[in-house]
Structures are given as structure tokens and as C-alpha cells.
Amino acid sequence: MTVRDLLSRIDSKELTEWMAWYSVEPFGEARADLRSAIVACVIHNTQCTKKSQMKKVNDFMPKFGPPQQMDWRDMKKVLKSLG
């Protein structure tokens, strides 16, 4: 279902309820990344032999830059490299 379809089928009361629920229990990819980073951090830190080698959760969070702008020639090169 697209966002447009969803918004056409949901009223403001239900949307507000979902927004309130999200503020209490966030969901989605950012939350999944955080959970994975916590697990990776715990595993790493339990294997460290020196305190100086310990990491923080943020060290394991993916870092994304701004979206890259590609023209059609760049896209063509990427598609050719795939196969």
C-alpha cells in the first residue's frame, strides 16, 4: 500500500494514535539499525582485553551521506557493471 492509499483510508484520530505510539515505541529502519549497533557493541566490548579498545554504540551505527546525484550515463555504467 502506498502512503497516499494509506492516508486516504485512515482518519486523523487513528493517525494521531499511531504518531503517539511511535513516540513511545519507535519502529522502522533507524530503530533496527540502533538495535543491531547495540548488539555489535556488546559483542565487541565483551571481547576487548583493554578498556582503551572499547567502543560506543554510535561507533557501530551506519553513517549515510547525502544522496548522490547521477545522470543517465552514470546510471548506465552502474547497470552494465551489474551484469
Task: Give the pLDDT score at 50.
Answer: 85
Q: Which pLDDT tens digit goes with each residue over 19-35?
A: 999 898 888 888 899 99
C-alpha R_g of the chain: 21
Indicate whether 72 pLDDT > 90.
no
Residues spanned by the domain of 58: 3-63
CA dist., res. 12 & res. 18, Å (int): 10
Domain count, the chain: 1
Give the model's confidence band at 46: pLDDT under 50 very low, under 70 low, under 90 confident, else very high.
very high
58: CB partners within 8 A, 6+ apart: 37
In a domain, 71, yes or no: no
In a domain, 35, yes or no: yes
Average pLDDT over residues 43-51: 90
In a domain, 44, yes or no: yes
SS3 at position 73: helix
Length of the chain: 83
In a domain, 22, yes or no: yes
In a domain, 70, yes or no: no
CA 79 to chain centre: 25
In a domain, 82, yes or no: no
Closest Cα partner for 26 from 37, 35, 15?
35
In a domain, 20, yes or no: yes
Indicate whether 52 pLDDT > 90.
no
In a domain, 74, yes or no: no
